[in-house]
Structure 1
Amino acid sequence: MSNLGEYEMDFYQSNYIIDQQEQSYHDSNAYGNLYGSRQTQATEQHQPSSSVPPEMFLPASYAGQPFQPASNLDYYPHSSSDDGFDEEPPLLEELGINFDHIWQKTLTVLNPMKPADGSIMNETDLTGPILFCVALGATLLMAGKAQFGYVYGMSAIGCLLLHTLLNLMSSAGVSYGCVASVLGYCLLPMVILSSCAIFFSLQGTLGTASVLLIITWCSLSASKIFISALSMEGQQLLVAYPCALFYGLFALLTIF
């Protein structure tokens, strides 16, 4: 009985394998015939006729030769960004910061007898004035006087009053930025005076003489620049008087 059972199992397994192989073979043949027929039809459809030239199948906008790659110059135009970057001015020049002009203005203020260049002085450069105002407030703070608010407030109000006065005195006219720039640069001698106040008191005779000298220095420098920029020859003393009053307020902050 055991031999008969093994024989039946072997028989059914062999029949199953044979049937499965035959079915797979027929399926693969059918799929191959179907795929081959479709490929043949697609080839026949896409294959051009021998009587039609290949140029007929090219698009109308194609201007090149057949069987040759077209040029991509139209798709990648030459960019002019590199030339634009070369022609752009430096960043400091765009911000209005010119160290050469700042140095020339500083030397003009430090030397009251030096002639002023009106083309350079007639600029709204506020880099130097802001630095000198901060330096004045810092030196007053080192002397034990926190007067930043007074420095900024008197600077703004004084520039506004002098701007109005200079527009009334001159026919050319001047902008508020130019007035603020000139008065701010001429504040440099006052910074020197406040630096001296850190080490000794200015309430004696020597201090009073130093204060008067600094006020005269600042007012003469500012008036010289104003008459050069506004073409106000022969009116330096008239311009120097309100400038002396303006710088006298900062001198009072330095002394007391």
Structure 2
Amino acid sequence: MSNFLEQYDMDFYQSNYTIDNQEQNYNDSNAYRNYYGSREPQATEQSQPAALVSPEMPLPSGYTGQFFQPTSSLDYYSQSPHIESLDEEPPLLEELGINFDHIWQKTLTVLNPMKPADGSIMNETDFTGPILFCVALGATLLLAGKVQFGYVYGMSAIGCLGIHALLNLMSSAGVSYGCVASVLGYCLLPMVILSICAIFFSFQGIFGTVSALFIIAWCSLSASKIFSSALDMEGQQLLVAYPCALFYGLFALLTVF
């Protein structure tokens, strides 16, 4: 029997852990809990005043109210410089370069060849009126049974290039391509009137030829007047009117024939 017990003791893992060591570990854990448990309420009590905002804290420069008493948002936004800058911005149409007053004045100048042109207004690059008149000319030709939109835009672009080069050679001040296209486009308005009349009447006779020559003279006279006024080309109006007459003669051929 003794041999069996010795063999049994040798099969188990031998360690130095005793009951006294277990009691000592238990006492150490209780002391650890008591020590840190007593410090947790003190830590929470000390952290609570830190969360409060001191009344003597310096306020931001842009804030004029008090804590927990917010000021009115209307007063803040009324004093904002961004809102004042929005009120001073120009209208959207003016930023896009669309001025209906100038468009009306240019149209009246074209319709009345004897009216003196304002060079400051006519020297602007405005494509609103020219595009509108080109589309109106193509639409009226379409109503007369002529699909000529490609010819209208093609001859307009090539003619503006030729007259632009000619005016730069004749004037010392020089002129931009946009200004030339704008003036020639506005002076296309009498040709639109001829195209509207071509819907209801036939211009294949002497009456049509005379009407076409009258409209060509009207357009070229208005364009040369505007160019001579905008570019200070005194005494050269007839020289400018001749290439303009050739330019508008192409549109008259489209309208009559």
TM-score higher than 0.5? yes
Aligned CA RMSD, in angstroms, stands at 2.8
Deviation by residue 1:155-201 (Cα, 9 ceiling, x = unmatched): 00000000000000111100000000000000000000000000011
The residue type equivalent to 2:195 in the other structure is S
Matched, 1:71 2:59: yes
Task: Give the match for residue 241 of structure 2.
Answer: 240
Deviation by residue 1:210-248 (Cα, 9 ceiling, x = unmatched): 101100000000000000000011111110000000000
**2:48 and 2:134 mapped to 1: Cα distance?**
87
Identical residues among aligned pairs (%): 80
- C-alpha change, 1:245 and 1:36, in structure 2 (3 Å) is same
Q: CA deviation at 1:38?
A: 3.6
Task: Give the match for residue 230 of structure 2.
Answer: 229
The residue type equivalent to 2:140 in the other structure is T
Task: Give the match for residue 155 of structure 1.
Answer: 156
**1:131 and 1:170 mapped to 2: Cα distance?**
29
Question: Map of 1:123-142 to 2, 5 A cutoff?
Answer: 123-142=124-143
**1:182 and 1:109 mapped to 2: Cα distance?**
9
- C-alpha change, 1:179 and 1:75, in structure 2 (3 Å) is same
- Listed as ranges, the gaps of 5+ residues in structure 2 are 1-33, 65-75
Q: CA deviation at 1:80?
A: 2.3
Question: Map of 1:1-256 to 2, 5 A cutoff?
Answer: 37-42=38-43, 67-68=55-56, 70-74=58-62, 79-256=80-257
Q: CA deviation at 1:86?
A: 1.4
Bigger shift: residues 98-107 or 77-86: 77-86
Secondary structure at the counterpart of residue 197 of structure 1 = helix
Runs of 4+ in structure 1 deviating by more than 6 angstroms, as ranges, are 33-36, 43-48, 75-78
The residue type equivalent to 1:235 in the other structure is Q
The residue type equivalent to 1:229 in the other structure is A
TM-score normalised by L of structure 1: 0.75
- C-alpha change, 1:37 and 1:216, in structure 2 (3 Å) is same
- Listed as ranges, the gaps of 5+ residues in structure 1 are 1-32, 49-56
